Amino acid sequence: GQSLEQPSEVTAVEGAIVQINCTYQTSGFYGLSWYQQHDGGAPTFLSYNGLDGLEETGRFSSFLSRSDSYGYLLLQELQMKDSASYFCAVSAFSGSARQLTFGSGTQLTVLP
């Protein structure tokens, strides 16, 4: 099976940088994804790491270390609209397609 751990809450101020960590235990690991979900909304894809290293997409970056079973999401130049839940998710194959197992989510609150 798969299990993931991430902090339940993080608070930061506008313009700051915040890092959300994720550790995982899994079999058949293919990659680590990050999704953002605003209250009442659908999860939306942010980033994916299949290999070790850093992936950068605008203000968001994600890092993976497969040997440490660890990844993080880095959010820079925080804006109020970044207040949301952030989920890490591991990819593994089940049946005929890749499936995601989500962490419990980190609620990010951005203060003015």
Cβ proximity to other proteins: between 15 and 109 the closer is 109
Rounded to the nearest whole angstrom, what is the least distance from the CB of residue 75 to other proteins in the complex?
19
The nearest distance, CB 107 to other proteins, in angstroms, is 8
Cα-to-chain-centroid distance, residue 66: 15
Can you tell me which residue has the tokens 């497969």?
Answer: 66
Minimum CB separation of residue 25 from other proteins in Å reads 15
Contact 73, 19 (CB under 8 A): yes
Shorter beta-carbon distance to other proteins: residue 45 or 59: 45
> Measured from the CB atom, is 71 or 103 closer to other proteins?
103
Binding interface with other proteins (CB under 8 A) = 30-31, 33, 41-45, 48, 50, 87, 94-105, 107
Write down the least CB distance from residue 21 to other proteins, Å. 16
Residue closer to other proteins, measured from CB, 16 or 45: 45
Q: Which stretches does DSSP call E strand in 1-112?
A: 3-5, 9-13, 18-25, 31-37, 44-49, 53-57, 60-65, 70-75, 84-94, 97-102, 106-111
66: left (phi over 0), alpha (psi -120 to 50) or beta: alpha
